[in-house]
């Protein structure tokens, strides 16, 4: 086997590559071997993959791509991923929760001095946000409001981080990322929605969360004595459940819109949010087309203020190629979703039929 690293072929890779590179190389060979072997196995052969802390030598930036690889190349396999690293456990759990399909179990070594010692086994929700909300509900039922608020806030902060990761939303840089508070993520999401000209559609979600941002979701409110009521915490947990459920399925704006549109008995706020995700997807495509065309636009100090109407008019003036005729006609026919200036009351009147029509038009591209 020939190993090459940056145009160098070391005779003894184990003495040349560092631990992280050796771990990655060994894992790549192992996974490739498993895939090769299963091709000659009987159709009903067990496809089982057990990885016991094999990623411990990799940093976080190289661990996440392994999860993506497992999901893309090992569909139909039973995968057991074991680790004693709490940070990696939480990271993998949050990442796996985006796509579902994982069972999460924790083992605790409590009471080892006991002769009849048995580890404690705890099943968790694959959706880390839902798990935090369940724990918050349990503590609330026991009248432990402080513990309940801590878990509710954890769910809020995790949701913010996942949204920033899903939509590649930039946040304010800090030399100490752990000290970046929830307000930084919340404000970044607001700015992202504004730049996509979809902020009115996100108004409902952001408004719901903002109601509790300074109380239940604020760590400064959890110290003794607390003034939060049980009713306020119940409302905050319910609000967080609604927001998580409305933004949970899908890794792109278009997928999230499709999930909300197809959701049985979707409430007006969820359909408004679907319209927002459709506009986010539309603006991304429109900006990419404008970039490809090297479209000239009037200079502005705030490029994010260039809305869909202005950009669409400029593209139409420049001229569309004939192959885009069907797409252009579809966008114009669904102008209320893609081009019109929105107001919250208008968004609450969106129908499933309208949104389905808009999604079909967008997909003609």
Distance separating alpha carbons of residues 223 and 300, to the nearest angstrom: 46
- Cβ contact 273:202 at 8 Å: yes
pLDDT in single tens digits along all 365 residues of the chain:
677 766 767 777 666 667 777 777 788 888 888 888 888 888 888 888 898 887 776 776 777 788 888 888 888 888 898 888 887 887 777 776 655 678 888 888 766 666 666 778 888 877 888 889 999 999 999 988 888 989 999 999 988 988 888 788 888 888 887 778 888 999 888 888 877 777 777 776 777 788 788 888 877 665 655 566 778 888 889 888 888 887 777 667 888 889 889 989 888 888 888 898 898 889 888 888 888 888 777 666 665 567 788 888 888 888 888 888 899 999 999 999 999 888 878 888 999 999 999 999 999 87
Distance, in Å, from the CA atom of 122 to the CA atom of 115, rounded to the nearest integer, reads 21
CA 144, CA 228: separation in Å to the nearest integer? 11
Cβ–Cβ under 8 Å, residues 193 and 199 = yes
Task: For the beta carbon of residue 185, count every other beta carbon within 10 angstroms.
Answer: 21
């Amino acid at each position: 086997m020939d190993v090459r690293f940056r145009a160098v072929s070391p005779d003894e890779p184990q003495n040349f590559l560092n631990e992280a590179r050796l771990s990655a190389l060994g894992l790549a060979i192992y996974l490739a071997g498993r895939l090769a072997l299963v091709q000659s196995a009987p159709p009903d052969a067990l496809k089982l993959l057990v990885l016991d802390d094999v990623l411990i030598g990799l940093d976080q930036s190289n661990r996440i791509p392994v999860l993506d690889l497992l999901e893309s190349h090992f569909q139909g396999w039973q995968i057991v991923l074991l680790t004693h690293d709490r940070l990696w456990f939480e990271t993998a759990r949050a990442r796996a929760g985006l796509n579902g399909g994982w069972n999460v179990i924790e083992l605790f070594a409590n009471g080892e001095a006991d002769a009849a010692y048995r580890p404690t086994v705890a099943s968790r929700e694959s959706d880390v946000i839902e798990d935090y909300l369940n724990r918050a509900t349990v503590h609330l039922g026991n009248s432990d409001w402080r513990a309940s608020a801590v878990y509710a806030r954890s769910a809020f902060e995790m949701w913010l981080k996942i949204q920033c990761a899903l939509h590649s939303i930039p946040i304010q840089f800090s030399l100490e990322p752990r000290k970046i508070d929830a307000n930084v993520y919340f404000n970044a999401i607001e700015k992202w929605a504004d730049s996509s000209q979809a902020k009115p559609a996100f108004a409902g979600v952001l408004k719901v969360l903002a109601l509790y941002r300074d109380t239940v979701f604020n760590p400064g409110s959890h110290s003794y004595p607390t003034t939060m009521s049980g009713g306020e915490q119940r409302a905050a947990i319910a609000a967080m459940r609604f927001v998580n459920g409305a933004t949970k399925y899908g890794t792109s704006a278009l997928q999230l819109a499709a999930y909300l549109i197809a959701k049985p008995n979707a409430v007006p706020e969820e359909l408004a949010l679907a319209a927002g995700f459709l506009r986010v997807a539309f603006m991304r495509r429109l900006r990419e087309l404008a970039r490809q065309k090297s479209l000239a636009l009037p200079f502005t100090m705030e490029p994010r203020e260039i809305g869909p109407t202005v950009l669409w008019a400029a593209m139409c003036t420049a001229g569309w190629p004939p192959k885009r005729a069907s797409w252009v006609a579809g966008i114009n026919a669904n102008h209320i979703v893609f081009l019109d200036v929105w107001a919250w009351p208008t968004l609450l009147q969106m129908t499933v039929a309208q949104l389905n029509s808009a999604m079909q038009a967008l997909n003609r591209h």
